[in-house]
Structures are given as structure tokens and as C-alpha cells.
Structure 1
Amino acid sequence: MLCDLGLHCFASAWTMIFGASYIMWYFDRASHFLANIASSVAWLLSTSILWGVAAGVMHVTRTGGNCAGHPIISRCRQSLTVEALGWSEFGICLLAMFATCFWIYATRKISKTATDSAARLV
């Protein structure tokens, strides 16, 4: 149980530190090597894998089912909450990664359409 919580703490620190770094690089308009779209997709992929592994390990090692007969504040409900937060973060990371990939695809399609229409005007 302690190792599972350590993995969740590492995943949350990883997400917070690198997420804050990407936000600072975006507002700073830095041309840093890690401040491009491809690295953010790679970071989102690795972060979603990290959160998926953490939530999956918590699901496998967690005792109890839905904690129906347990008191409101119990170890079963606490571990269920940590697992739910892990799966939520996993889903948010995947959603952000797919949205970023779709944004890249749409931007390239729009720029290709704009260059094709500009070539026709000449």
C-alpha cells in the first residue's frame, strides 16, 4: 500500500513540475528544445502511462470492493479515492494528448488549404 501511494505521489509531482514548466515555457515564448508540440505530446503520453500504471497497481493491490459496509472514513474508502483520482488523471492526460494531436492535424490541414488557395490566386 505504501509503495502504491509513493507511485501516486511521484506521478503527481511529475505532472506538477513538468506541467508548470510547459506553462512557463509557453508564456515565456522560449525556443527551448522541450518547449515544442512534439515534446508535449511525448510528455502527455509518458504522463498518461505513468498515471495508468499507478491507478492499475492501486486497483490490483487495493483490498475490498466498493466499501459498502465500511465507515465513511476508512482505509478502504481512502484507497478507493486515490484509485479514482489516478484513473481521472489518466483520462485527463489521454484527453489532452488526443486534443493536442487533433489540434496539430487541424492546423496542418488549415495551413495546407491556405497555401493551396494562395497558389491558385497567383
Structure 2
Amino acid sequence: MGRHSWCSHLGDGLCLADEPVVCEVGAISALSERELPEVPARLSVTARTTGRAVAARDLTVARRRQRVDIGVLPAGTYDLLISAGADTAPLSDVFVVAGPDGRDAADATDGHP
């Protein structure tokens, strides 16, 4: 069986460490809205340097984008994954949270002033 649904994502690629990370998630499908009004999905965020999960949300994704609050994260680079059932294509993205000096955690440890 092929995939007939996928998720869409709208979010900033660069966030600040003292502000909440938010994004918008919506569902797109080859099926009619009557046949598939919503897609159950899971949004997860993993710290790229440690591989540790820092946030996870179970979502019911509608056709219209909905706001998802991931929360305040420390400086670093993060992988975002939105996954659903076998008939829904997963979506992944990368974003950076910059500290007060404008660098992420990896930049802060590279030995440069």
C-alpha cells in the first residue's frame, strides 16, 4: 500500500535560547477531507550532539496547520521528526537554538573566543 498522506511543517530554522520554540504542523492527503479529516502523528525533537530526546508530542494533525509549542531549549542543534502511520510519509527538519552570544552549543566549544 502506498503513502497517501504527509505532514507539512512551518518553523524557524534559527531560534533564541530564551524564547520558546514553536512550529506549525498540518496534514496533506490525496484522500478527501471527508475520508481522512485528521492524521494521528508524533512530533519528536532530539539534540543532535547527544542523540537525547528533548521533547515529544502526540498530535492529531488536521488539514489546517496547528501551533505546537516545543518549549524553551538550550543552545544547540536539534533534529525534528514528525511521524505517523505506515500510510503517511515522515517529515524531518533541523533547527538551531542560539545562545545569547549568537552561537549554538557546538560553536561555544570549538575553542574560538
TM tier relative to shorter chain? under 0.3
Higher relative contact order (CA 8 A, sep 6+): 2
Structure with bigger helix share is 1
Give TM-score scaled by structure 1 length.
0.24
Give TM-score scaled by structure 2 length.
0.25
Structure with bigger strand share is 2
